[in-house]
Every structure is written in C-alpha cells, then in structure tokens.
Structure 1
Amino acid sequence: MFTTRPTLQGIHGMVSSTHWLASSTAMAVLEDDGNAFDAAVAAAFVLHVVEPHLNGPGGEVPMILAPAGHRPQVLCGQGPAPAGASIEHYTSLGLDLVPGTGPLAAAVPGAFDAWMLLLRDHGTKRLSDVLKYAIGYAEHGHPAVERIGAAVETVRELFETEWTTSAELYLRDGKSPAPGALLQNPALAGTWRRVIAEAEAAGSGRETQIDAARRVWREGFIAEAVAEFAARPTMDTSGERHAGTLTGADLAAFSATYEEPATYDWNGWTVAKPGLWSQGPVFLQQLALLRGTELDYGTPDYVHTLIEGMKLTMADREAWYGDSADVALETLLSAEYNDTRRALIGERASFELRPGSPGGRVPRLSKRARHVADNGAVDLPPAAGAGEPTVAKVHWGHPAGEPAADAGELTVEKDGSTRGDTCHLDVVDRWGNMIAATPSGGWLQSNPTVPGLGFPLGTRLQMAWLEPGLPNSLAPGRRPRTTLTPSMALREGEPVMAFGTPGGDQQDQWSVHFFLAVALREKVRGGLDLQGAIDAPNWHNDSFPSSFYPRVMKPGSVTVESRIGDFAIAELRRRGHEVTVGEPWSEGRLCAVARDPETGILSAGANPRGMQGYAVGR
C-alpha cells in the first residue's frame, strides 16, 4: 500500500508529535538514556515554544501513561473553574455563554503541574535536563511554521488595540512572524531559567527540585504575575472588557491527579481513555455500538455507519458527560443500552440530536442543544453580549458550503475564538514505557501574554454551560468538559499502541477511524500499519453543539476529504448527508507509536497533513 511515509520501526525508541522539533527533542532525550516520560516532558515544553498558536504553559493536558509492566493510568492536567467562577457571576455580566477568549474563560492552568508530576514520579532526568531544549528554542529562536503568522494576522487589530503585550511578542516592528522566520520568546526563556534557579536553590535532590518548581508555579513569581494579570479587565469575544476570576488561591490549591482510565474491550483490543470529564468515552461508546456489526472497511456503508454512530455518541456527550456526570460509564457501554441505540442507525442520515436514556433517565440538554433537537435548525438566537456575527452567520471559519483550506488545523476568528486546535505527542522507549498526551490551551490568541512570563492563560471554561443542572454546568472547583482525548490500546492486557490527534470535537471522530484502520487492515512488515491508517482518507461531522464559542452546530453535515472518492461522496449524499468535500489532505492530524510485546519492536507514524507532524526513532 502506498503511504506518504514509511511506518518507522526500531528497537531503541519511537516518538511522534505534531512538530518535528518536539519529536527530535524527545528522541534526543531517549538517546541520552532518558525514558519515555523524560522525553515527553522535554517535547511538551518545546511544543509550547514552537506551536504557540496551539498550546502553552498556561493551558492544560490529559495524558495516558503506561510504565513498563503496569497497566495504563490517566494523569489529569485539566484545571478546574476558579472559586469565583459561578454561573451567577457570569450571568450578572449579561452573558449567557462563557466568552471564547479573555480571562473570564480561564480555568486554573493545569499543564505545568501535570508535566512536573510526571517527571517526578516516572522520569529519571533533572528539571534543567528537560527544560534546556525549550529554553534554547525560546532564547535563540526557531523557524516559525506558516500558521503562527496566519493566526496572528487574524487577530492583528485585537493585538494592536487591546492585547498590546501580545503585540510586543508577535508583532515586532509591526510584522507577524513570516514562515521560516526566526521567532524568539526571551521572556519565556527567562521564566524557565528563573524556575530552575529557584528550584535548585531548594536542594540538590531531583524530586526536591521538581517539587520546588511546582511551588514556584503555584505560589511564587509565576502565580503572582498570573493572578495580577487575570484581574485586569480585558477585551474578549463578548465585545466588552471583563476581569477574570482566577486568583492566587486558586493556583495554590491545584494539583494534577492520577485516575483510572475508562476502558472498553472490542475484538481482542482494549482501548483506554480519560473519563467522563473529557469527551474520550465517545470513542468507547462508538466501539460498543459497533459490537457484532460486520464492517467492510472503507466502503460507503462503513463510513455511513461510523458517522451515524458518532452522532449518537456525541448526543450522549451533550446530555451525560461532565465533571458532575451522574451516569455510570458502565451503563453507557452496556450491551443492553447499545442494542437499543444501534437500532436507531438507519439507511438515511439523521438530522436529529438523539441522546439516550440510560437507566430510564431523562436526558438533560442545554437550551441551545434543545433548540436544535426540537426545531432541527441552526439559526439559534445570538448569545447575550456576543455582538455580531450571530450564531447563524458563523460557519466554522469559512463560508457555508465551502470547505476549509485545512480542517485539520486551527481556525481563528477575528475575535480570537478558535476551533480545530491543539497538539499531540506519543513516546515509547526500549524498556516498554509508553505515553500519549494532548497538550492544549493557553495559545497566543486565547488571552493577552502575561507581562514578563512570555505566555497567556487558557480558555477552557468556554466549554462549560451557564445553565444550572447540567453535567457540564460551570461551577467553582469543577473541571470543564474537555475535548482533549489521548488514547492507548492494549492486547491481552499489554499496552501496544499510544495515539491521538488535535482537532477539538473532531478528535474522537478521526481517532476512531484511525484505530479501525489499524485493527481491520493487514499489517506491514509484521507490525501495525500506523502510517497507512494515518494516511487513510478521513472525515468529521458537526451534528452536535461545538465545544467552542459560539457553540455552532450543523445537523446532518459531514465533511470528507476528496480522496474518499466520487462514488462514496455520491452514496453519502444519496443517503441524505449534507456533504462538504474538503481538500484531499485536510481531515485528521494523527500521531501514533506502538510496541510489539513479543519482539520488543517499536514503531511510529505521523500525520502528513499540514506538513508539520513528524515521527522519529531508531
């Protein structure tokens, strides 16, 4: 089978990420006798530097890690809503949606503490050993990828008139970073140098220094600068200036946590995902819907079945997922429940939002979701304070009926709201340690750059609803439901594959198709065909409320890569799907690594779309 690149194979270590410099950094750590977790931390901080339009230290990260000889566990770096982030506070400001940008949308930053916890508990390297790569690229510069400048140009007016600290960094001499131009962030380099210095002053032990760095972030100069800046009124997507609710006490109280993953067994595989505070279980529900179904891979019937199944699972996400979810995942994955749900998949495309009733419970949907469920329309009334354009006029960053130039990359509106974003990285080492992580948030267009630190805050609270009584309602101390969803697959209890993708709501659509492409097709050179599965034509649908402001949905829609073929496109349209044909390489940004437990052979593949992701190994 032709692929854009070979599936890499070796025995020492394998890395795949959404940027070649992060992948090379992780490999350098592996070559220096670091393990997969050391390598992942080093690569993550490089991603903050080289993909600032997609993630940053002020964002969040969920991870699934499997130390050699152990079952996977989730490390949650998703921070909660601050203590002052109540529905009453936001509605008192005249809002009925959390803004898509600005400090009101900032959850407690979770990424830094999660990476430090991973390094302390599972790594072998010192703090300075893993941060030196990011410091080098921030201080001496890196060649800017095309979409950094494109993102900055989209929000140029905002930077020049309101977010002037960001303009100082990304509009030097009035120019956005040109493709390939040397882009530096000396403030960020200085931040990490100071963290290292204060950590080393706390003692000589590796763990002592890492814990000291965590305190610096929570209670030291970083926390002070972040809390001060979050309190400043800032222009956001509402068209007004609002101060945030994040305080020093919120930062001091947060710690990343370990959790058991959600899992499902399918055709000899076990897939592990984060729990119901993420969208990850929709992947597992999709597999539960497919149990016992004959799948003829790549046919129009196969594509139709996956699209319709994903509509059902995403409807369940809207009704049942969130940090306060009160439905057991076991019920959502049960054979009885999925037999009932599977019967809803017909020959024609559904335009309905149809959450299930696990255990006889009545689904709870947001007002916006109910409007579409009742009326089958997308012309929702505008959010209070949202200004123009209204929801009806927003079409995912491109005109209605026209494909995005690259649906696998981020789309930025002029107000800074963002969709289709995020990073991903996977690492496996020669000892069998494996990790999948999806860093996100805190991108350059989410909030102004914090003076002296070189990074902005995130906007994850935009995914919570300002309506009480929903599993994803905004509440102090509650994690907003995240789209971030790394994956790990096991065979006979042994972790064999770590994978994931950026892409917001599209992540568990693209990832399911990737997984099935691996599981249902022939192997290459005796191993999993990672690159072939990544390269396979992909698609997504928008038949549910977007997780991102202004929460658009397009019932019946499906966007496909043109490579899927004219016959499949015509057949999908015959079945009633509203098909948008995208560019040949526009859907999905998968990364993947794997390990054969019997031979110890490692493998990796990376997404060619966007000409940015890369896998390395030997």
Structure 2
Amino acid sequence: MVASTHWVASAAAHGILERGGNAFDAVVAGGFVLHVVEPHLNGPGGDLVGLFATADAPREAKVLVGQGPAPAGADIAHFRAEGLDLVPGAGGLAAAVPGAVDAWLLLLRDHGSMELSDVLAPVIQIARDGAPLLPTTVATIARVADLFREHWPTSAELWLPDGALPSAGDLHRNPRYADVLEDLIAHADGHATREERIDAARTAWATGPVARAAATFLATPHRHSSGTDHAAVIRVSDFTAFRASYEDSVVAQFRGHTIAKAGTWTQGPALLAALRILEPLDDELLDPSTGAGAHTIVEALKLALADRDAHFGDGTDVTPLLADEYIDSRRAEIGERAAREWRPGRPTRHSRAAPPLRQAGTAADAAGTGEPTVQTTGETRGDTCHIDVVDRWGNLVSVTPSGGWLQSSPTIPELGFCLGTRLQMTWLDPDAAAALTPGRRPRTTLSPTLAFDVDGGRMALGTPGGDQQDQWQLPFLLRVLVGGYEPQEAIDAPTLHTTALIDSFWPREWDPAGVVVEDRIGDDVIDELVARGHDVLRDGPWRLGRLSAVGVRPDGVRLWGAANPRGMQGYAIGR
C-alpha cells in the first residue's frame, strides 16, 4: 500500500512493489519522483525526515536523518556582518547542506532490495519525458516570475520557457536533473556488490559535479528575501563532510498507543507533548468537531508549540519536556478562554527563552519565501510533500521530504535544481536553543509519524504544512484513536490549526490568538471559538491539511491506505 501527496509518485512506488520490491525500494522511487512532479514543494537540494519500522522489528521506530547541517562558514558573525538580523527566507545564504538524496540512497542501501538503476529508472523517464504542471506549481512560478526575470535568470530559463508563464497541465521536462541521476548510476557501475554500488553513488553526490556546481554557482552574490544581494557560504567541503544517518525515535504513550517521532531537531516532540497534555481529559474535550474540543485542542497546541519555539534545537534533551510533572503543569494552564500570551514553560532552571516576538503582519512579504501551506492571512503557499508505504512483509515507512523548492534560491544551471533555505529556521542569537551554528542541524518542521496500537495495528502518517504539520496530525490521531474514525474519514473531516506560534519561516512572526478553520467545521464551533476569545479566520471548506497514511490491521494481514482529497492530487493505491 502506498499513499502520497501526488498520484504519479504513488503510482511509481506501487509499480516498484508490483515488481517485487519492498517498501524501502518503493518509497525511494516515489521520493525521487516527487522531486519532478512537485518541484515547488521539494527538490534534490532539500532535506527530509523519515520514520520506519522493519518487518524484523515491527514495533521499533527508527529515524532516517536527511537534514543536513549549517555549512562551516554559516555563523552568526558572518550573517551580522552582511547586515542581517534574520536568516533570509530565500537565497543561497540560507542553504543548509542538502540531505535528501543521500538519505534516500542510505535507506535504499541498508533496507531496500533493488538496484539503484532500477529504482531510478521511472524517475529518469519522467524527468526526460515530462510531468504535467500542477495548478499550484504554476501559481508558485507566477508569484516569483519577476524575481526570476530580474534577478535569477537561470531559474527563469527553466521555469519560464521562452519568457512566458506556463499553464497548468503543460509538460515540464528537466533533462539536466535526469543527467545528474544517470551520472550517479554511472558511478555505481563496476562495483562488486549492490551496497558498494549505492555507496559509490553517494560519494559521487557528495564530492563530484553536484557539489562543485552548487558551491561555484552560489558563490556569486544574488538577490535574497532581504532585498539585498549576498553570496552563499556553502562549499564542496560541506557536501563532502555530510552523510545521512539513523537515530532512535522519541516515543510517548497515548491511551495505550505508542506514538513515535523524531527528536528536538524537528518539531515532532511537540505532537507528543500535546497528546500527553490531552490524554486524561474527557473524550468530548478531544473532539475537534465541537466548540469545547476545538478550544481545548488549540490551547494544548499553543502550549506545546511555545515550548518548541523556546526550547527545541539540535541536541536539546526532550526528557524534561515530556516528564509527567511538567506535562501536568502545562495542562493546568489551559483555561476557558483563549490565551493571548506566548507561554513557554521552564522544564529546567537553565531553560532559555526565544528571541523577541514579531507581531504578524508587521513585516513585508518577499517573493520566494515561506513554506507554510496557509499563511496567517489565509493565503495558500507551496510547502512540502509526503509519502507512506507498507509492504506485504510488514515493512512500514513514512517520509516527509521538503526544501529545495523551485522558489528557494537560483537554479544551478548544470543541475536543473536549486538548494534549500532551511537555515531560516535558526536564530542569529547565540543564546537561542535553535541558534545558527556551523555543523549543527537547523530545527526543521518536517515531522512524519508512526503509531502502534495496543491491539497490534500499526500506521504511518504525515502531511505537508510547515508549522501546521503536527497540528493537522493531532486531530487525525484524536479522531482515529479516540473517536473511532476510519483513517480516510479522519483525513476528510474538517480541521483547524493555531497561528499563535513563532513562525518557523522568515520573517518569523507571531499571531497571539489566531485560529484558522475550514468553515465546514460548523458555525456552532466557530461561534464558540470566537466567544472564547480566539481570532478565527475561515479558510474555505477544503483547504487545511494534506495528510496521507497507510497501515496494517491488527490481524497483521490486511493493509489500508488513505489520502487527502484537498487539491485533488493525493493518491492511495494498493492491493
């Protein structure tokens, strides 16, 4: 079973399963296809976070680390010397070391069964023959067209053929990216074992033409979201020094279910904190379809996300943030009315605060910036993608790839893609938990989930959405684990999220009591939220969330899949 945010990626992954590949072969094929079919949402120059459990250890969740660190030259002093008080939201200076491609190859080497050439064959074909442009891709290109024409001519060459805006449905071809993949395969040829062949491709990525072209091209100053020109600091040595890796997951119990997330270099533990805050409350307070439930869920999220913003960062110990006494103290802070203050807790006496808050709407927008699916204004933006796979042997994997969007930084002409801007999630404040530090991972919003039921069922899930990723997963989990919904019902149900958080994306704003809702959640729910003091923004009937999920029923035999209908491009397929 495969479910993802794009039907072509799901079909390609399922084709690998039909040919005898396992879940890891399939998810890698689907992941590379996402580079081509959702280029405004992810790219080879970006990053990913994955969670997986193998058939041999079906209830042990491992983390696939595809988040590269800050380059050696990316320190606070350099950015300050460039006249910046925030890391820009677009431009090569904000690039972390790309981690996605090496992570996909690592996963394929260690847990897949097929040759790299076979897994990449459908990707290369799609890149050469073309994929139909989505309406959202075209809308993204339109938003940054002037930036491309005036400042990023290599991006204009790729995305504005003959200088004109393409139309939805037009076939977009990327032969240069196909060449990159074929070069990786060529470097793999001639080695004795499958593992050695994949490692040769990884070495070629980290030390060969990709690294050299990216470092050389981005060393030329170019326009950033700040409205000023800067050279990137990433070098070939930064590519060479990075290798993707694995980590243990962070887990929490929720009403007998085990929920697994990545660590505090992601926002994942915020979902665990919110679940633990909500766990002992009455079931009606865990129902997002009621006014009281929506209020309680939003207030729990605001507390968990305040702790994310104040305390999460690469190396932060999550244990104090999930301790019973601390969670109890946070639950006690939920009142009958919407809180309008930023309220991080102090899990230890050495806890550090985040930088000053910027009120939402006080900073100007800039072309090319922002991952969130929905801004505080309700404006829809590009963001991220997601893919889940489970196979007949019981291997289960969930991956959220992102970064390297076509609008992130100028297209590297030899490669057909750009680098990402994940460093915008760091602070130019050495005392911040997520301070910009060379060699350290920026805190990312990418946040897939694995869940293990008390009765033996297992599932993988996730969604695009920037700061909303765990917010949209929470109502899904509550509806499935508490409300008894089928997964597809839970994905289809109207949802909501809070904007009362410090935005992870430039210009890092905060909206004290904002709540965005799909208006089909009902006037009674919306009226109660308003009465309780929330600033509610109605955002249409089918706008929030792009979840997908797959799972294994408790009997260990039957599989299920579910995909998002919003946008009419998510797709679940299996047999």
Same fold (TM over 0.5): yes
Residue-by-residue CA offset, 1:62-107 (whole Å, 9 max, x unaligned): 1001111311100100000000000000001110000101111000
Give, as a single letter, the amino acid of the residue that structure 1 aligns with 2:299: E
Distance in 1, Cα, partners of 2:463 & 2:153: 32
Query: Residue 204 of structure 1: CA displacement?
Result: 4.1
Q: Which residue of structure 2 lines up, in the alignment, with residue 242 of structure 1?
A: 230
Q: 2:70·2:437 contact (CA, 8 Å) conserved in 1?
A: yes
Aligned mate of 2:560, from 603, 615, 618: 603
Q: CA deviation at 1:477?
A: 0.3
Equivalence for 1:318: 309
Q: CA deviation at 1:147?
A: 1.0
Q: How far apart are residue 221 of structure 1 and its match?
A: 1.3
Shift of residue 29 of structure 1? 0.3
Q: Which amino acid in the other structure matches residue 9 of structure 2?
A: A
Separation of aligned partners in 1, 2:225 and 2:389 = 37
Residue 598 of structure 1 aligns to a residue in which SS? Answer: coil
Mapped partners of 1:147, 1:121: distance in 2: 35
**Aligned equivalent of 1:432, options 390, 394, 406:** 394
Within 1, Cα distance between the matches of 2:204 and 2:378?
Answer: 45
The counterpart of 1:532, out of the listed 474, 478, 489, is 489
Cα drift, residue 302 of structure 1: 0.8
Q: What SS does structure 2 have at the residue aligned with 1:263?
A: strand
Matched, 1:103 2:92: yes
Is 1:56 aligned to residue 47 of structure 2?
A: no
Q: Which residue is equivalent to 2:186?
A: 197
Question: Retained in 2: the 8 A contact 1:230–1:247?
Answer: no
The alpha carbon displacement at 1:597 in A equals 4.1
Amino acid at match of 2:402: S
**Local SS of the residue matching 2:348:** helix
Structure 2: which amino acid aligns with 1:268? G
Q: CA deviation at 1:205?
A: 2.1
In the other structure, the counterpart of 1:512 is: 474
Give deviations 1:462-518, integer Å, cap 9, x for gaps.
000001111100000000000000000012495600000000000010001111111
How many angstroms apart in 2 are the aligned matches of 1:217 and 1:342?
Answer: 47
For residue 306 of structure 1, what is the aligned residue in structure 2?
297
* Whole-Å separation in 1 of the counterparts to 2:456 and 2:63: 16
Q: Counterpart of 2:534?
A: 577
CA distance in structure 2 between the aligned counterparts of 1:453 and 1:477, rounded to whole angstroms: 25
| Aligned pairs for 1:290-439 within 5 A | 290-296=278-284, 297=287, 298-325=289-316, 328-367=317-356, 369=357, 377-378=359-360, 388=364, 403-404=378-379, 407=380, 410-411=381-382, 421-439=383-401
- 8 Å CA contact retained: 2:311, 2:351: no
Q: CA deviation at 1:288?
A: 1.1
- Name the residue aligned to 2:102: 113
Conserved in 1, the CA contact under 8 Å of 2:265 and 2:443? yes
Kept after mapping to 2: 8 A contact 1:487/1:499: yes
Q: Aligned partners of 1:389, 1:222: CA distance in 2, in Å? A: 31
Q: What letter matches 2:203 in structure 1?
A: R
The equivalent residue for 1:592 is 549
Alignment of structure 1 residues 552-571 onto 2, 5 Å: 552-571=509-528
Q: In structure 2, the residue corresponding to 1:452 is in which secondary structure?
A: coil
Match of 1:38 among 10, 15, 25: 25
Instruction: Report the Cα distance in structure 1 between the residues aligned to 2:138 and 2:484, rounded to whole angstroms.
Output: 41
TM-score by length of 1: 0.89
Contact 1:403 1:583 in 2 (8 A): no
After superposing the two structures, state which structure 1 stretch, 45-54 or 357-366, moved more. 357-366
Higher mean C-alpha displacement, 161-170 vs 280-289? 161-170
Change (3 A) 1:209 1:149: same
Q: Which residue in the other structure is 1:19 paired with?
A: 6
Distance 1:278 1:398, change over 3 A: closer
Specify which of 141, 145, 161 is matched with residue 156 of structure 1. 145
For residue 14 of structure 2, what is the amino acid of its counterpart?
M
Tell me if structure 2 keeps the 8 A contact 1:466–1:474: yes
CA distance in 2, matches of 1:299, 1:305: 10
Compute the displacement of 1:176 (Å). 2.4
Describe the shift of the 1:362–1:275 C-alpha distance in structure 2 as closer, same or farther (beyond 3 A): closer
Q: Which amino acid aligns with 1:27?
A: H
Per the alignment, do residues 493 and 454 of structure 1 end up closer, same or farther by CA in structure 2, a change over 3 Å counting?
A: farther
- Of 132, 135, 145, 2:124 maps to 135
1:137-172: per-residue Cα shift (whole Å, max 9, x none)? 110011111111111111111111211111111100
Distance 2:384 2:200 in 1: 28
**What amino acid does structure 2 have at the position aligned with 1:482?**
T
Alpha-carbon RMSD across the aligned residues, in angstroms, is 1.8
Identity between Structure 1 and Structure 2 (%) = 50
Relative distance call for 1:274 and 1:397 in structure 2 (3 A) is: closer
- Does 2:55 align with 1:68? yes
Q: 1:521: which partner in 2?
A: 483
Compute the displacement of 1:173 (Å).
Answer: 1.4
CA distance in 1, matches of 2:448, 2:375: 31
Q: In 2, Cα distance between the equivalents of 1:225 and 1:389?
A: 30
* Deviations 1:419-466, CA, capped at 9 Å, x for gaps: xx1000000000000000000000100011111111100000000000
In 1: Cα distance, 2:333 partner to 2:437 partner: 34
Q: Is the 8 A contact 2:550 2:560 kept in 1?
A: yes
Take 2:264 and 2:419, find their aligned partners in 1: how far apart are those partners? 24
Which amino acid is the alignment partner of residue 28 of structure 1?
G
SS in 2 for 1:61: strand
Partners of 1:259 and 1:456 in 2: CA distance = 27
CA contact (8 A) 2:373 2:464 kept: no
Query: Match of 1:138, SS?
Result: helix
Q: Is the CA contact (8 Å cut-off) linking 2:396 and 2:460 kept in structure 1? A: yes
- Amino acid aligned to 2:176: A
Aligned match of 2:451: 489
C-alpha distance in 1 between matches for 2:521 and 2:90: 36
Using the TM superposition, give the Cα deviation of residue 397 of structure 1 relative to its aligned residue in structure 2, in angstroms: 9.9
C-alpha deviations, 1:202-224, integer Å up to 9, x for none? x1421111001001101111111
Distance, in Å, in 2 between the alignment partners of 1:556 and 1:614 is 34
Tell me by how many angstroms 1:378 deviates.
4.4
Task: State the distance in 1 between where 2:173 and 2:392 align.
Answer: 34
Q: Contact 1:66 / 1:495 at 8 angstroms: preserved in 2?
A: no
Change over 3 Å in CA distance of 1:172–1:379 after alignment to 2: closer
Given that residues 270 and 304 in structure 2 are in contact (C-alpha distance below 8 angstroms), is that contact kept between their aligned partners in structure 1? yes
Secondary structure (helix, strand or coil) at the match of 1:210 reads helix
Is there any run of 5+ residues in structure 2 with no aligned partner, and where?
none
Instruction: Report if aligned partners of 1:324, 1:472 keep a CA contact under 8 Å in 2.
Output: no
Aligned to 1:471: 433
Q: Distance in 2 between matches of 1:362 and 1:250?
A: 31
Correspondence for 1:262 among 236, 250, 254: 250
Q: What is the CA distance between 1:379 and its match in structure 2?
A: 6.7
Q: How many residues align?
A: 567
Distance of 2:243 and 2:456 partners within structure 1? 29
- 1:126 alignment partner, one of 108, 115, 122: 115
Tell me if structure 1 keeps the 8 A contact 2:457–2:556: no
The letter for the 1-side match of 2:218 is: A
- Distance of 1:474 and 1:194 partners within structure 2: 34
- Give the residue type in structure 2 aligned to 1:300: G
**Which position in structure 2 is the counterpart of 1:281?**
269
2:417 aligns with 455
Q: Matched residues in 1 for 2:556 and 2:502: separation?
A: 45
C-alpha displacement at 1:556, in angstroms? 0.4
State the partner residue of 1:501. 463
Give the distance between the partners of 2:119 and 2:441, measured in 1 at CA.
Answer: 28
Offset of residue 230 of structure 1: 2.4
CA 35–379 in structure 1, closer or farther in 2 if over 3 Å, else same: closer
User: CA–CA distance in 2 between the matches of 1:398 and 1:123?
Assistant: 36
Shift of 1:540: 1.0
C-alpha contact (below 8 Å) 1:355/1:363 kept by paired residues: no
